[in-house]
Structure 1
Amino acid sequence: MQILLLQTWIANIGNGFIDKGARVAIERAFPDAEIIEASGHPNLVGGRKTKGFLPNVFSSRDESAYGELYRHSSQTPLQNIINVGELVDVDVAVLPGCILYEHVLEKYYPVFEKLAEDDTPLVLLGAGGGDYDPETQRYVKQFINEVEPAGIITRDRDAYESYSDDVPRAHDGIDCAFFINEWYDPPTATDEYDVATFDKQTTPKIASDRRTIHTDHYPFEQPYGNLWQKIKKMKSQWKLFNKENVFVSDSLRDYLFLYANTRVTHSDRIHACVPTLAYGNRAQFWFDTPRGTLFEKVLDEDIQDKPVSVDQSLLKRAKQEQVEALQSIISHSL
């Protein structure tokens, strides 16, 4: 069997943890399958180039209807871009991550068109949304009605309750990045330290007698972003580089080394906390977002109140259930 793993983009390094965690889940479900990875970066570029260098100041949303960016224009970068996923013959495609909103689905429109043309089933794995507002749900349901995914494994209860009735098969699962410790086993660090990863707000005062390493999850700033995105990122990085012990890398393994060895991770980034928990360490999440409900699937304590760790036996069970659900959904789709 050949399985196409459609990835998003590592403009945000945390997306890479999702992609590699998804690969682990697929390998566990189908150990003999050939997995073909296809980055969504071309589609990010095409989408952003199509939207232009100046932001739409009148709306916080990208598009109001599924396919609007692609279909309601001609000879745009999004129409001209090519993705590896359009050039391979596979049995099934899998798209993981925070994908259930227009920011991702619009950019992947041409790939979905090709999958439909080839009668290739699509499975959404560890899927969640940026939010679950009525407008977002309406948009995602348009996508589901047009693309007809074979099934969905969600990463939070809100996503499951919003979309499980719209697909043939669904499972109330967990975020794919919880599998990341099975993808890479980092060496042991020589020093003790904490990690602070804050891209959205000012780093809070952290009480610790250990060194604090300040990481940035946007190692490439905002590639092909509009003017506002670039200015906003540059401004936040000016503050970052005035700190001591700053860390920026283009390597997933470098970040995972830090999260596997940290005593505590403090962050407003979900995917600084998830790998920290997966490696058995403590994390505290410092941001209020609908995406944060994914922690409720594996934690008994509130990760926003204090540093917490995950019950590894509970996590192991949830991961096995996710693997079995993926086996079932893909087997029924073929």
Structure 2
Amino acid sequence: MRILLLRTWITNIGNGFIDKGARATVERAFPNAEIIETSGHGNMAAARRTKGLLPNLFSSRDEARYGRLYKDNNDSPIHGVTNIAELVDVDLAIFPGCILYEHALEKYYKVFKKLNESNVPVILLGAGGGDYSKDTQRYVRQFIDEVEPIGLITRDSDAYECYKDDIPFTYDGIDNAFFIDEWYDPPSANTDYDVATFDKIEAKVQSPRQLIHADHFPVEQPYGDIWQKLKKMKKQWGLFQQDNYFLSDTLEDYLFLYANTRVTHSDRIHACIPTLVYGNRAQFWFETPRAALFDKVLSEDITESPVSLDSSVISRVKQEQVNALQKASKEMK
């Protein structure tokens, strides 16, 4: 069996952890399958190109409401982008991550249309949304009606409750990044340290050890607006003035940090998840509905103090996710 793994875009390091964690899940579920990874980076770049360096005048929800997944807009920049996903023959397509809202779905519409024409079934794996408002749910259900995915394995219970009745097979699962330790086993560090990864807020973290300040936005977003560029420049200028500022263009370097830290403090969910799965402690410092994905695997509140994973719990729920993916594939005709 040939499986297409549809990645989104790595301008945020956490997206890479989702992609590679998804690959590890697929490899466990289908050990004999050929996995073809393709990126949606071109789709995202094309969508942003029309904005150029000017500030965004409309939210992506406005674009989605009027663009209807770019269905009828052949002049859309996304329409002209070629994706590897459209150039290969596969038996199954898997789309992982925080994709259940217009920011991701609109950019992949052309690819999904081609998959539909080729009768390739689609499974949404470790899926969640940026929010679960009525507008977002309406948009996602429009996508479901048009693309007709055969399976949905969510990363949090909110997504499951929203869409459990809309797709033939659904499962209340976990985030793909909980599998990242099966993709990469980092070497040991020669010193003790803690990590502070903050991209959204400023937090005063106290540590008895060396404190490494990591940045999860190492890659410039293509065609971003000038205000976002200036904001990023200001943030990085401040970080460069600190000791132990960390920036890299490889997932493995970040995973080394999180596998060897004693504690990670972060406003990034996907700085906390790898820290936890490698057996270390993490504290999450940001209020967002996406944090609900921790509820499945933690008995303590990760926003109150540093916590750790119960290895027996995470081992069990990961195997259950693998089993669910196998069951979802049986919906293939």
- The 1:62–1:88 alpha-carbon spacing in structure 2 relative to 1, beyond 3 Å, is farther
Contact 1:46 1:78 in 2 (8 A): yes
Cα shift at 1:273: 0.3
Q: 1:170 to 1:51 in 2, by over 3 A?
A: farther
Match of residue 89 from structure 1: 89
Answer whether contact 1:66 1:140 (CA < 8 A) is retained. no
Matches within 5 A, 1:15-34: 15-34=15-34
Instruction: Note the aligned Cα RMSD (angstroms).
Output: 1.5
CA 1:241–1:178 in 2, change beyond 3 Å: closer, same or farther?
same
| Pair 1:144–1:52, CA change in 2 (3 A) | farther
Specify the code of the residue in structure 1 equivalent to 2:158: D
Distance 1:231 1:61 in 2: 24
- Tell me, yes or no, if the aligned pair for 1:22 and 1:96 is still in contact at 8 Å: yes
**CA 1:314–1:325 in structure 2 vs 1: closer, same or farther (change >3 Å)?**
same
List runs of 5+ in structure 2 lacking aligned partners: none
Note the 1:166-315 alignment, pairs <5 A: 166-202=166-202, 204-315=203-314
Given the two structures, how large is their TM-score scaled by the length of structure 2?
Answer: 0.96
Q: In the TM superposition, what is the alpha-carbon distance from 1:227 to its structure 2 partner? A: 2.5
Aligned with 1:333: secondary structure? coil
Mapped to 2, the partners of 1:62 and 1:309 lie a distance apart of 40
TM-score scaled by length of structure 1: 0.96
**Which amino acid in 2 is paired with 1:241?**
F
Aligned residue for 1:16, secondary structure, equals: helix
- Which stretch has the larger CA shift, 239-248 or 181-190? 239-248
* Structure 1 equivalent of residue 129 of structure 2: 129
SS at match of 2:231: helix
> Take 1:333 and 1:3, find their aligned partners in 2: how far apart are those partners?
12
Alignment of 1:65-76 (within 5 A): 65=65, 68=68, 70-76=70-76
Give distance in 1, aligned partners of 2:68 and 2:205: 45
Q: Which moved more, 1:164-173 or 1:70-79?
A: 70-79
Aligned twin of 1:101: 101
> Contact 1:214/1:246 (CA < 8 Å) preserved in 2?
yes
Q: Which residue of 1 aligns with 2:117?
A: 117
- Amino acid corresponding to residue 139 of structure 1 in structure 2: Y
* % identical equivalent positions: 67
> How many pairs are equivalent?
333
CA deviations over 1:234-285 (Å, ceiling 9, x no partner): 2222222121101111100000000000000000000000000010100000
Give the equivalent residue in structure 2 for 1:322. 321
Distance change (3 Å), C-alpha of 1:112 and 1:69: closer
Distance 1:97 1:37, change over 3 A: same
Point out where structure 1 has 5 or more consecutive residues left out of the alignment: none
Query: Could you tell me how far apart the structure 1 residues matched to 2:173 and 2:249 are?
Result: 29
Checking the alignment, whether the CA contact within 8 Å between 2:48 and 2:222 is kept in structure 1 is no
Question: Is the 1:20–1:177 contact (alpha carbons within 8 Å) kept by the matching residues of 2?
Answer: yes
CA distances 1:61-98 after superposition (whole Å, capped 9, x unpaired): 35343853623544332111111111100000000000
Partners of 2:244 and 2:226 in 1: CA distance? 29
Query: C-alpha offsets along residues 266-318 of structure 1, whole Å, 9 cap, x if unaligned?
Result: 00000000000010100000000011110011000010000000111100110
User: What one-letter code is carried by the residue in structure 1 that aligns with 2:297?
Assistant: V
Moved more, 61-70 or 222-231: 61-70
**Distance of 1:127 and 1:76 partners within structure 2:** 26
What displacement does 1:42 show? 1.1
Aligned partner of residue 124 in structure 1, secondary structure: strand
Are the equivalent residues in 2 in contact too, given 1:50–1:78 (CA < 8 A)? Answer: no
SS of 1:110 mapped into structure 2: helix
Shift of 1:40: 1.1
Q: Once the 2 structures are TM-superposed, how far is the Cα of residue 60 of structure 1 from its aligned partner?
A: 6.3
- Kept after mapping to 2: 8 A contact 1:195/1:262: yes
Q: Are 1:79 and 2:116 counterparts?
A: no
SS at match of 1:126: strand
What is the distance in 1 between the residues matched to 2:93 and 2:144? 15
